[in-house]
Amino acid sequence: MVGRPGASTPDASAHPPAPPAAPRAVADPTGYPPAAARSAVEVAREVERAHRESWSTVLASVVRLTRDLDLAEDCTQDAFVQALRTWPDGIPSNPGGWLTTVARRLALDRLRRETNLWRKLPLLIEAPGDVEQPTDPLRLVFTCCHPALAREAQVALTLRLICGLTTREVAAGLLISEPTAAARITRAKKKIAAAGIPYRIPADEELPARLDAVLTVVHLVYTAGHVAAGQVLTRSDLTGRAVELAKLLVRLMPKEPEAEALLGLLLMTEARGDARLSEDGELVLLADQDRSKWDGKLLAEGVSRATAALNGGGLGRFALQAAVAGLHVTAPSWEQTDWTQVVRMYDAMLISWPTPIVALNRAAAHSLVPGANLEAALAELDALSNEPALKSYAYLPATRADVLARLGRVQEAAEAYDAAITLTANETERRFLTRRRSSLAEHSARPAQQSPIPDR
């Protein structure tokens, strides 16, 4: 795995902690009292959880102190390594606070040893106890989304820093190669250092120039957690972080329809979370979900925010995506979804945001309109097969497989499912696609049409 600190959870095997001679509690210089002694396995598990839950907050706090992304990453990672070595003596009652304190102390030690200390001294004026600010992660997002950086660099850097995503996960989220993602991240950090880009929430007049990039990043963070790479379907640390960032954005820019729409979109998606898996842990598509398991409170808030965004003049891509989500969740059933209106929303989205993924979603929705010409829908999908951005996107062959199966072209559908199974990075989705492939004869005869794109 390519990457600097923050690219992955610290590996306990690389820094095996020495077990204590006997269970004991030790004095903790950070001031957070430890609990009872723990085994190396327990410690590794707790460090991994702390990495998921606290990475961005710890890193943001250190960046606020140092104004140096590389130094902040180094010290944050070192704090997690130190946790692996010392937590066997007792895990602190506040792991995030412990990690923040240690990382900031490591950063101060590094600064004191460097020859440019005197140049940085004016920055070191924050009170020692002032280590947690609720807006820190959002402040770091805005720093990474500075207009001086290219858009693709803004998104890649923020995904890496604010979420601790690996370079591979960043690449998967952006549909680019891993070396390309690594290069974008490196160039962006160098540009921030060379240009002296400040670490702060921009002034009100600067916000609009960065808003679209920030919204894009928050949405991609949610997407990375909604269908995560690996064994589990969802990473709630990423989806939860995205929702919190969206809430912070709305508080920061309460009159911005696109911020309101993004929050509404995420809340409506979150509301369906408990229905996405069966009792035995298998993926359940929106068509088959038990709607009584949806969170009514989240749905109501999500629909309300999406409606407010549209009524407030929101015509951007997030307002339109929220409108699509609203059509899904307000329909009495899958069969009663207004697919014609869904297609119209995607048509409007293609005008303002003409991306291959929007075109794919539009083609999938088109195939579900009652009486749709499936051959025409398949032609749309085949045309998208030439898009470089979709070469590694599993949902394109999965959607083709679904349409081919409904056309009765079973062998071609099987080949498309094989391609999708190879491309998907999530084990739950892989099992689902494998089952779909195995039941092609039944699938081709099934009257109820289902989109293979999750939650569509």
Task: For residue 315, count other CB atoms closer than 10 A to its CB.
Answer: 16
Q: For position 127, what pLDDT does the model report?
A: 38
Q: What is the location of CATH 1.10.1740 in the chain?
A: 1-13+28-114
Q: For position 36, what pLDDT does the model report?
A: 58
Q: For position 447, what pLDDT does the model report?
A: 43
Q: For position 125, what pLDDT does the model report?
A: 37
Domain 355-456, CATH number (from 2.60.120, 1.10.8, 1.25.40, 2.60.40): 1.25.40
| Gyration radius of the chain's alpha carbons | 24
Q: What is the location of CATH 1.25.40 in the chain?
A: 355-456
Q: For position 442, what pLDDT does the model report?
A: 63
Report the C-alpha gap between 450 and 167 in whole angstroms.
33
Per-residue pLDDT of the chain (456 residues; tens, 9 = 90+): 333 333 333 333 333 333 333 333 334 545 555 555 678 888 888 998 888 788 888 988 898 888 788 889 899 999 999 999 999 988 899 999 999 999 999 999 988 887 555 455 444 434 334 444 545 677 778 878 888 888 888 888 887 887 777 888 788 777 788 999 999 999 998 888 888 887 777 787 888 888 888 898 899 889 988 998 788 899 888 898 899 889 989 998 899 999 999 999 999 999 999 999 999 999 999 999 999 999 999 999 999 999 999 998 878 999 999 999 999 999 999 999 999 999 999 999 999 899 999 999 999 999 999 999 999 999 999 999 999 989 999 999 999 999 999 999 999 999 999 999 999 989 999 999 999 999 996 654 454 455 555 554
Q: Which residues on neighbouring strands pair with residue 373, listed in sequence order? A: none
pLDDT digits (tens, 9 = 90+) for 405-440: 999 999 999 999 999 999 998 999 999 999 999 999
Domain 1-13+28-114, CATH number (from 2.40.30, 1.20.1440, 1.10.1740, 1.20.120): 1.10.1740
Task: For residue 207, count other CB atoms closer than 10 A to its CB.
Answer: 17
Q: For position 6, what pLDDT does the model report?
A: 37
Report the C-alpha gap between 103 and 126 in whole angstroms.
15
Q: For position 196, what pLDDT does the model report?
A: 82
Q: For position 55, what pLDDT does the model report?
A: 86
Report the C-alpha gap between 34 and 87 in whole angstroms.
8
pTM attached to this predicted model = 0.77
pLDDT digits (tens, 9 = 90+) for 38-95: 788 888 889 988 887 888 889 888 988 887 888 898 999 999 999 999 999 888 999 9
Q: For position 132, what pLDDT does the model report?
A: 45
Report the C-alpha gap between 381 and 367 in whole angstroms.
10
Q: For position 164, what pLDDT does the model report?
A: 74
Q: Which of 185, 201, 221 is nearest to 142 (CA)?
A: 201
